Amino acid sequence: MAVNPNAESRLAGPVRVVGAGLLGTSVGLGLRARGIEVFLADASPTNVSIATDLGAGRPATAGDAPQLIVVAVPPDVTADVVERELADYPDAIVTDVASVKLQILDSLIARGADVSRYVGSHPMAGRERGGPLAGRADLFVGRPWVVAGHDAISYKRASAIDDLILDLGATLVEMSAEEHDRGVALISHVPQVVSSLMARRLVDAPSASVNLAGQGLRDVTRVAASDPELWVQILGANSTPVREILTAYREDLDRFIEALEDVNAPGARRRVAEEIAGGNTGVARLPGKHGIDKRFSTMIVMVDDTPGQLARLLHEIGEIGVNLEDLRLEHAQGVQVGLAEISVVPEAVERLTTELVARGWRIAG
């Protein structure tokens, strides 16, 4: 029943999860790990039975009385499912985890759904693989999870969503649906388009050119491997802010192309420099340790491409007493050697270099 054996959890009552894919199964696993009862529903009975076997909850039944319902279905059917859940469970609070928020809220209001019990949310987490088998109890740990509050739901009711997020170990971020959608358009949807269109340029390129590609192009185009079907739904649901940002991007691009038409014309080189410098300013605003982080210096150490070598390197860096701030592996083309790019505080570079060289490591940069 709805008794929660784990004193640490915030949620009290049982949770119904609709959609036992990656996100739904992960929600179920995370809540079960805290002893919270979970009822699983999915249009696919197979998904329900896999998620149940994994320990994400038990199959939903007619008599369930959930406190909270988490709708984790594809974006294009989310509003329909939320509407139905609100009607079927008149005492439950309902949230969804779709990556676009305003269209769903507007659609629910337009249909006369009881949005005093609905608040949309969006965990900034995912994996390359989908489906219940990819689900993990820890999927949301440390990830931002946006709650898109609105005026029609009371603070007290919405707090059930906050409890869900904190129980799953995520970081609660509050913003309006409009702010959220514009935010994800900028930090996720437009970068996806920019990356996909860049990767498209490779389709008909000569192999000799493509084979020269290094880490720069690989980074710019990594997300271009994403699922087209999902992105049609996301971009379709968030077309207004995505189009606005892409239009501003195109204005910069037009200016850039114009400057390249005659690079010796007065002001042309200055314009090119300004656009690149603007990129410097923009990228410096990104949080986290990745990217070219000015707080850290990077070194490249050559590592034989055999098991245990990288572990030995990191073990020895630990012995030397330097804290590794970041690590990336690069594999050079055509040779059995990897390049480990390590980030450390600038003060440590000289000593670390000396010590690693003394231990026989080759520093490649």
Q: In whole angstroms, give the CA distance from residue 34 to residue 13.
A: 12
The neighbouring-strand residues paired with 120 are 148
Nearer to its own copies, 157 or 312 (CB): 312
**For residues 185 and 245, is the Cβ–Cβ distance under 8 A?**
yes
Among 124, 152, 153, 166, binds its own copies (CB under 8 A): 124
Q: Is residue 318 a contact residue for its own copies (CB under 8 A)?
A: yes
322 to 341, contacts with its own copies by CB under 8 A? 322-324, 326-335, 337, 339
For the record, the structure tokens of 91 come out as 């005492």
Q: Does 346 bind its own copies (CB under 8 A)?
A: no
Tell whether residue 292 is a contact of its own copies (CB under 8 A). Answer: yes
CB of 6 closer than 8 Å to CB of 33 = no
How many residues of this chain bind its own copies (CB under 8 A)?
Answer: 135
Q: Which is nearer to its own copies, 35 or 191 (CB)?
A: 191
| Strand arrangement, sheet containing 120-123 | 120-123, 144-148, 171-174
Q: Note whether 65 binds its own copies by CB under 8 A.
A: no
Smallest distance from its own copies to CB 190, Å: 7
80 binds its own copies (CB under 8 A): no
Alpha-carbon dihedral 230, 232, 233, 236, rounded to 10 degrees:
160
Q: Is 360 exposed, middle or buried (0-12, 13-18, 19+ CB in 10 A)?
A: exposed
Q: In the range 135-174, which residues lie near its own copies by CB under 8 A? A: 136, 138-139, 141-144, 146, 171, 173
Residues 181-210 that bind its own copies (CB under 8 A): 182-184, 186-188, 190-203, 205-210
Name the one range near its own copies by CB under 8 A: 12-20, 62-70, 157-165, 215-223. 215-223
Q: Nearest-CA neighbor of 28 among 65, 55, 68?
A: 55
How near is the Cβ of 37 to its own copies at its closest, in Å? 23
91 vs 128, beta carbon nearer its own copies: 128
Q: Which is nearer to its own copies, 88 or 305 (CB)?
A: 305
Calpha distance 135→93 (Å, rounded):
23
Q: Alpha-carbon distance 303 to 310, whole Å?
A: 6
Binding to its own copies (CB under 8 A): which residues in 241-260?
242-243, 245-250, 252-254, 256-257, 260
- Half-sphere exposure of residue 257: CA atoms within 13 angstroms, side-chain side: 6
Stretch that binds its own copies, among 60-68, 90-98, 126-134, 150-158 (CB under 8 A): 126-134
